Amino acid sequence: MDFLALVFQKLQTFFSDPETLKLYVGNRFIMILLVIVLLKIKYATYSNLYLSALINIPGTLLHELSHFFIGLITNAYPTRFDLLPKKHGDYYIMGSVGFRNITFYNAIPSALAPLLLLFIGYYFNRWFFTNIPLSYMNYTFYVLLQTIIIENAVPSSTDFKVAFSYPLGLALYGAIAVLAIIYAF
């Protein structure tokens, strides 16, 4: 019994040491390891539709809300908002937003709206490290949230098909991008 108490005391001393915390937070290897473990846990749930839905709901909500709100702003008229996963062949469709008025001027912003989550992730990163005291749990929670935000910022293959289905829209947003680059530099 004394041995277990000694081991517990040594572990407690180790984890309460500020230098150990700095090593944990400042080590990119540990962060990448945490992200990979989180993704492996997520992918392990894909054999069960309900467990997969439970794990994916937070990110799916962010992803689909970005489509929905940008669709509202750009006059795409969202008509359907679905967070319940559906099995489609060999894969799951985690959520979807239906639109009534996809046109050349709103296809790209509505379909690629999840990319805006990258800004949320960036500002969350800046806010977190200036406002939250560092601890093992806080940092692990930070990695979990950032993984959810960044992973769900990636548009799906369907999103890309919709975004690039209007050549006039590509020309319009390409010209805007060129003008922005010229103006910025």
With a cut of 90, say whether residue 19 has pLDDT above it: no
Residue range 113-127: average pLDDT? 96
pTM over 0.85: no
DSSP assignment letter at 58: H
Average pLDDT, the chain: 89
Highest mean pLDDT among 16-20, 53-57, 83-87, 162-166 belongs to 162-166
> How confident is the model over 128-139, as pLDDT tens digits?
989 998 888 888
In this prediction, residue 1 carries a pLDDT of: 60
- Gap between the Cα atoms of 105 and 83, Å rounded: 26
Q: How far apart are CA 11 and CA 63, in angstroms?
A: 40
Distance between CA 121 and CA 5 in Å, rounded? 41
DSSP state of 161: H
With tokens 């990110």, the residue in question is 59
Half-sphere exposure of 26 (CA within 13 A, CB side): 6
